[in-house]
Structures are given as structure tokens and as C-alpha cells.
Structure 1
Amino acid sequence: MAQLAQILTPVDTVVSRMRTLDATLPERDGVAVFNRVYLAVTEEVDRCLDAGAFPDPEAAITLDVRFAERYLAVAEEGWGPACWRPLLQFRRHPGVRPLQFALAGINAHIGHDLALAVVDSCRTLRCEPADLEDEFDRVGDLLVSMEERIREDLMPGPDVLQIADPLTHLLGSWSLERARDATWSAARALWALRGLPDLAEDFAHRLDAAVGFAGRMLLTPLPD
């Protein structure tokens, strides 16, 4: 039992850091909006670990922590790679709605950070991406269910959100399922290129830029 508590400490640490951000950031801040979503996901992962829902707890913890640390570095320092810059730039824009902030954060974190976290975890655990696929899928399933919930929580009511509403168009242009599939392919490609550091760096840079472009579109300010 003592050994299990020690293994869970890294997840407890990232949860604590997210709770600190939640307590200190203004409620309407774009990073704060995403942080609340991600905190709920990480707490759910922690509960699943406690319940023994992951066949390989060490792999799940490693992936979860490596993944979270990439976001926390951005949130705590206030700067980051291209994928996060739209959210950091528009985080206080009055014309951007909370749902846009949440999805832009998910876009940056899933589209870019998760691929790099898979590679980080493979290096730490000395394994192949295929060995982490079950954990990747389980975490992804939690994110999909959470995305559905935040859309319900943050979406304007049906009397406000009509088919021609600009937000409807923006939301229809991005899919977490597609982003997750693309991320798995990107992680495998980065791992395959690990012996060619120049190519791997160029691939990662282009992935970062492409995800950042999608984030900028998601954060298009909308009229009231």
C-alpha cells in the first residue's frame, strides 16, 4: 500500500498545481477556463487509477504526468510554443466565449502536447508507442466524454445558438476524435524519427505551427 501511494504522488502533484491555478486565475481568463476542464479530467484519471481501471498503472501515470507537465509549464510561466500562443494572446478578449477558450486549450494540448508526451513516456519507460496505446486510448476516452460535458455546460442555449450562429460554424470545424487520431499518428512518426533529430525537430515544429493555426481559428472573436 505504501508503494502505491508513492506511485500516485506525481499525479497528486499535478492536480495540486492545477488547483492552485484555479484559485489564482480570474474566472473569465481563457487559461482558467481550460484549466477547470483539464483539472476535472486529471481528477477523473486519478480516480480511475485508484480504482485499478488502468491495466498498466505505471504507464498510465507516466503518460498522464508527462502530458500535464507540458500544459503546466505554459500556464505557470505565461508563455509557450506556437500551439498555445493564440490562447495566451486572446485569454482576456471580451469577444471570445468560454467554450472557445476551452476547445482552444484542448486543441493545443491534444494536438501538440500529447504527441510529445507519448514520446517522452516511451523514453522514460523504455518502450514503444504501441505499448502505450491502451493508456492513450483510455485517457482519450475520458477527454472525449469531458468534451461532451463542457459543450453542454458552456454552450449557449438553443434559443441563442442558431444554425447560422458563427459559434456553430467554429465548433463544427474541429473534432477531438480527429485530433486524437492525428496525434497518435504524429507520436508514432516522431518516435520513428528519433534517430534523425533534425527531421524530428522539423516535424515537431510544423506540428506545433499547424495546431497553433487551428487554435487561432477557434478563438475568432464573435459578436454578442
Structure 2
Amino acid sequence: MELSTAPADAVAVLSARLRAVLAGLPTGDGVGVFGGVYLQVTEAVERYLGEDGYFRVPAEVARLSTLFADRFLGALAAPTPPACWRPLLALRRHPGILPVQFALSGMNSHIEHDLPLSVVDSCVSLGCAPEELAADFHRINDVLAAVEDRVREELAPLPQELDVADPLLHLLGSWSIDAARDAAWASARLLWELRDRPDAYDSAAAALDRSTGMVSRCLLTPLGDLSHRGGPRA
């Protein structure tokens, strides 16, 4: 993406690419569930890029968004995808996994692994340090928080009588988008400091990939449908 490209237009291209991927997936496909959530986020960023003053440097947000999306789309097409994406790709049609689990697992993989690497790639591309992206990085948190709230409401409606020990309630409380974004920012800063030490950078990135994949796999622990809990499977 050239920096002369209108930022909102550049992100609109990402939205179109995501819609094309989603169009070919069957209903209930776990990748499609996460992709639908990711499309909501991308469309929201696109809208805010059209508002003067929301982002400090819209062109930098568009560049980061593009590199970020490329990692997800690249994982879908890769013969050997990154470890963080393998659980979702392997279990995407498992009948005992709930839609909200697919969504949270994909968000974990994309935010905890893809995002810090994309921040570093953006900084290299733009010729800036992560601190110059910090304000807009954290501004996106507001966009993500709103989408996450909708995802939880739409994909995991919880009945009033849900027991505090229910596995679904435990799972929903075990993952936070704010915590994930904070961890991603810390990882990005660490990787940036290691950029001139290729061996150390590669080792840290590989460890991040594996550890993210472990959490993503745990989020996909089969829980069955929600009918016995009084709520519908979305």
C-alpha cells in the first residue's frame, strides 16, 4: 500500500478481501465465524478513518491494518500455517465447539501473535519506532472493545440461571481483549528491540507463535451446544 493511498480506501480493500474469503465458507465454519468478527473490526476502522481527528496518523493505521490482515489471510493460504493458527484451522468444523470459542480463538491468535509482528513490520516500513504508533494503537482498543462486546452478546447469550462453575462461563471469563492488546504491545516493543539480532528475534517470535497457539487451542476445548444451559447455539 502506498502512503499516498487514501487510508479509508486502503482499508476498504481489506474489507473486500475478507468478504471474498467469507463468501466461500459454509455456515458454521470456525474460520468463517472469526472472519465475520474480523470483518466487523475492519469495517469499523474503515469508518473511523473517514472521520477527521479520530486517528492521529491515518496513513500509519492503514499500513498497520494492511500488514495485520496479510498475516491472517496468509495463514489461510499457507501449506504450513503458523502454530498459532493451526488449532482453529484443524478444528474449524468440530461440532462440539461453540461459535464464540471460534471467535475468541481467532482473536487470540491474531492479536497476540500477528499484531506485534505487524507493528514491527509497520515500523520498519514507515521508518519509525513503535512509540510513534502508540497513540493510534491504543485508540483502536476502543473499536475492538465495542466489537468484542457485540460478539459475546451475539454468539454466547447467557441465561440468568447459568451456574458459576459452568465451563462456558469459565471460558468467557478467561480471555480479555484489553489484556491481549496490552500483551501484544509489550511483545511488539520487545521484538523491536531485538530487530538487529536476527537469531534472538527469530527465537522470540517462534516462542510467541507456540505460546499463542497453546492458548488458542485451550479456547477451543469442546463444550457442546448451549441447549442444556438454556441458551441457543448461534
What TM-score, normalized to structure 2? 0.89
- How many Å apart are 1:156 and its aligned residue? 3.2
Query: How many Å separate the matches in 2 of 1:6 and 1:208?
Result: 32
Matched, 1:55 2:90: no
**RMSD of Structure 2 on Structure 1 (CA):** 1.7
Matched, 1:138 2:145: no
Query: How many Å separate the matches in 1 of 2:38 and 2:90?
Result: 19
- The answer on whether the counterparts of 2:25 and 2:32 sit within 8 Å (CA) in structure 1 is yes
- How many Å apart are 1:5 and its aligned residue? 5.9
- How many Å apart are 1:43 and its aligned residue? 0.5
Q: Which one-letter code corresponds to 1:136 in the other structure? A: F
- Residue of structure 2 in register with 1:40 after alignment: 40
Query: How many Å separate the matches in 2 of 1:92 and 1:154?
Result: 16
CA deviation vs aligned residue, 1:147-199 (integer Å, no higher than 9, x gap): 11100111133157432221111122222111111110100000000110100
Whichever structure has more helix as a proportion of its residues is 1
Report the CA distance shift for 1:195/1:4 in structure 2 as closer, same or farther (over 3 A): closer
- How many Å apart are 1:221 and its aligned residue? 0.5
Instruction: Could you tell me which runs of 5 or more consecutive residues in structure 1 were left unpaired when the two chains were aligned.
Output: none
- How many Å apart are 1:71 and its aligned residue? 0.9
- Residue of structure 1 in register with 2:110 after alignment: 109
- How many Å apart are 1:77 and its aligned residue? 4.5
- Residue of structure 1 in register with 2:231 after alignment: none
- Residue of structure 2 in register with 1:215 after alignment: 216
Moved more, 152-161 or 46-55: 152-161
- Residue of structure 2 in register with 1:196 after alignment: 197
Query: How many Å separate the matches in 2 of 1:84 and 1:43?
Result: 23
Query: How many Å separate the matches in 2 of 1:4 and 1:198?
Result: 35
Query: How many Å separate the matches in 1 of 2:132 and 2:221?
Result: 39
Q: Which one-letter code corresponds to 2:35 in the other structure? A: N
- Residue of structure 2 in register with 1:127 after alignment: 128
- The answer on whether the counterparts of 2:95 and 2:224 sit within 8 Å (CA) in structure 1 is no
- How many Å apart are 1:75 and its aligned residue? 2.9
- How many Å apart are 1:6 and its aligned residue? 4.4
Task: Write out aligned runs for 1:126-205 (5 A).
Answer: 126-159=127-160, 161-205=162-206
Moved more, 8-17 or 20-29: 8-17
SS for the counterpart of 2:83 is coil
Query: How many Å separate the matches in 1 of 2:92 and 2:187?
Result: 27
Matched, 1:28 2:38: no
Query: How many Å separate the matches in 1 of 2:49 and 2:100?
Result: 28
Report the CA distance shift for 1:115/1:215 in structure 2 as closer, same or farther (over 3 A): same
Query: How many Å separate the matches in 2 of 1:118 and 1:95?
Result: 35
- The answer on whether the counterparts of 1:79 and 1:88 sit within 8 Å (CA) in structure 2 is no
Tell me the number of residue pairs that the alignment of Structure 1 and Structure 2 aligns: 222
Query: How many Å separate the matches in 2 of 1:161 and 1:28?
Result: 24
- How many Å apart are 1:110 and its aligned residue? 0.4
Question: Which runs of at least 4 in structure 1 moved beyond 6 Å after TM superposition?
Answer: none
- How many Å apart are 1:139 and its aligned residue? 1.7
- Residue of structure 2 in register with 1:16 after alignment: 16
Query: How many Å separate the matches in 2 of 1:35 and 1:160?
Result: 31
Query: How many Å separate the matches in 1 of 2:108 and 2:58?
Result: 26
